[in-house]
């Protein structure tokens, strides 16, 4: 069944108001609203997938960073820096991952005053179960575009990303 894209009521109101302002580029507003509508649904689908595994994007980022680390270990401060979050945020994420038995704290091999965080066997099993399924879903989602269209979309998204600061200016 093909989905029809309709703006959310709050987006439709904004779009309708834009029509009454002659200086507004209606095509830009409509394209932006459509893009934000699709992005919202992509993020919702992504979170629904993570929910099945009792994960959040933040927890998954921590697990992936640990997986990339030599011997699957990093200190909490190194994880916070690599993830681009505060130490307080990383502490919360690690506590949740420890409760789920996906990571464990061990004495740091070089400094007994510090701890290393390492993946458990359950985390590695989770990757084996979750990642192939996730990559399959992504492939199915992107399969409506040809390879050339995907390259075009990437180029357009990179171009949009360069214009992102304009959205936050006042």
Residue 159 in any domain: the answer is no
Q: What pairs with residue 73 in β-bridges?
A: 118
What does the alpha-carbon distance between residue 9 and residue 32 come to, in Å, rounded to a whole number?
15
**Domain match, 65 and 30 both:** no
How many CB atoms lie under 10 A from the CB of residue 55? 21
CATH number of the domain at 66, please.
1.10.10.10
| 34 CB burial (10 A radius; 0-12, 13-18, 19+) | middle
Residue 82 in any domain: the answer is yes
Q: How many helices (H) and strands (E) does the chain have?
A: 8, 3
**Domain match, 42 and 67 both:** no
Number of domains into which the chain is organized: 2
**Domain match, 76 and 119 both:** yes
Give pLDDT tens digits along the chain (170 positions): 455 566 667 777 777 777 778 888 888 888 888 888 889 999 999 999 999 999 999 999 999 999 998 776 788 998 999 999 999 999 999 999 999 999 998 887 676 677 889 999 999 999 999 999 999 999 999 999 999 999 999 999 999 999 888 887 65
pTM score: 0.75
**Domain match, 106 and 67 both:** yes
Domain holding 24, by residue range, is: 13-52
């Amino acid at each position: 069944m093909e989905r029809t894209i309709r703006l959310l009521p709050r987006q439709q109101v904004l779009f309708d108001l834009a029509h009454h302002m002659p200086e507004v580029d209606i095509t830009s507003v409509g394209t932006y609203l459509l893009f934000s509508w699709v992005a919202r649904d992509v993020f919702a689908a992504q979170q629904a997938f993570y929910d099945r595994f009792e994960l959040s994007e933040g927890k998954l980022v921590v697990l992936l960073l640990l997986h990339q680390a030599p011997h699957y270990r990093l200190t909490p401060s190194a994880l916070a820096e690599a993830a681009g979050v505060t130490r307080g945020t990383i502490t919360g994420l690690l506590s949740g991952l420890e409760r789920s038995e996906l990571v464990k704290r061990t004495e740091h091999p070089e400094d007994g005053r510090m701890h290393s965080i390492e993946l458990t066997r359950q985390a590695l099993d989770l990757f084996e179960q979750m990642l192939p399924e996730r990559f399959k879903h992504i492939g199915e989602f992107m399969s409506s575009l040809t390879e050339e269209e995907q390259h075009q979309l990437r180029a357009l998204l990179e171009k949009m990303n360069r214009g992102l600061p304009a959205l936050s200016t006042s």
